[in-house]
A = this chain, B = another copy of it.
């Protein structure tokens, strides 16, 4: 017992030292403009450890802060030149992060950065280069196209034409009559059809996988899941006051299922050279998009053969038993999350599925949370499994 006691003490002591060392290491001076800055803008900047520093011109402002940098964000201080500056108190995770500024009690974007739709608004974005960024970088390989489509939609009453983006692989334009499988890939709550090819870099991930021969060329369709409008007060999908949210019920009430199955899939199959059958159609999504995938794909195994849930729950043994013909129809089951989310649940569910004879993949993204590096990596792991 004494040995174990000492071991525990030693572990605690070492952990404390590491924590102190971490907090005491001064931020290194290798700051560079974030890659997501607007053309010519020097700030925000990021360094090799993941610290972010901001610089905002607003000489008469009373208070300026950025929402990045943990709870409470990062307060900025005004210099004698009237310029507000500040640095996150801790390094951020590698990858993409949303944030915005609070200026004198109002919400504004950092004029230095490009904007990305998240939290139901166009937000500022910053990119911490990841040690494994090669897989989502723009490299000297053949590149596919991302196409904006306007597809007619009779459902949901939100618009006569809805917007989606379609990735076609590099050889699509020149391959004559060749037909391709299709992955329907959904964004998370607060985002929209722009997320996967901007924040997610889905097109570059696919270009790189295809160039390396690691994934079959396939089409990726990125549509709006209609969750944001529906989840607003009065939007029809919110639970009544005092009731617990039932996500399946909420997703059902967005109307996205019929947009997808009655409008979008027929449009894509009519306008692109798809392999228009169940075996060559997959669905995946991140967070709320994972829940949509869980809800829609399991109901419609006549349409989808492969399922990916990225930080969006799991396909359980109960799901398998409830979905008629699951074992015959479903070829790929993939569930993932960041190591800072709930990897135990992902791994336990993996084993439970294997036990009832369902081959499946559980993937845990190292040192990431509920954020885009988790999902970029998930797509990178998921895509090679599809349509084999």
Contact = CB atoms under 8 A, between A and B. Distances in A.
Contact of A149 (B40, B60, B111, B143): B143
Interface in A107-124: 107-109, 111, 114-115, 120-122
Interface string A130-145: 0000000010100101
Given A111-B121, A145-B149, A82 B105 contact: yes
A62 B60 contact: yes
Contact of A59 (B105, B160, B270, B272): B105
Contact of A57 (B105, B173, B229): B105
A26 interface: no
Contacts of A160: 138, 140
A57 B106 CA distance: 5
Contacts of A115: 115, 122
Interface in A143-161: 143, 145-150, 152, 160-161
A56 interface: yes
A61 interface: yes
Contacts of A57: 105-107
A59 to B, nearest CB: 4
Contacts of A354: none
Interface in A164-216: 166, 173-174, 197, 203
A63 B57 CA distance: 14
A12 interface: no
A270 B149 CA distance: 22
Contacts of A174: 270-271
A127 B103 CA distance: 26
Interface in A287-319: none
A39 B105 contact: no
Contacts of A63: 60
A106 B101 CA distance: 13
B122 A138 contact: no
A138 B161 contact: yes
A114 B105 contact: no
Interface in A39-83: 39-40, 56-63, 82
Contacts of A173: 271-272
A203 B147 CA distance: 12
A38 interface: yes
Q: Which of A63, A105, A229, A272 has the most CB of B within 10 A?
A: A105
A277 interface: no
A22 interface: no
Contact of A103 (B103, B161, B166): B103
20 contacts: A39-B120, A40-B229, A56-B106, A57-B106, A59-B105, A60-B63, A60-B105, A61-B103, A62-B62, A62-B104, A103-B104, A108-B108, A108-B109, A114-B122, A115-B122, A140-B161, A145-B148, A145-B166, A148-B203, A173-B271
Closest 3 CB pairs of A and B: A58-B106, A60-B104, A143-B150
Given A40-B229, A58-B105, 14 more contacts: A39-B228, A57-B106, A58-B106, A59-B106, A61-B62, A62-B62, A103-B103, A108-B108, A109-B109, A115-B122, A138-B150, A140-B152, A145-B148, A147-B148
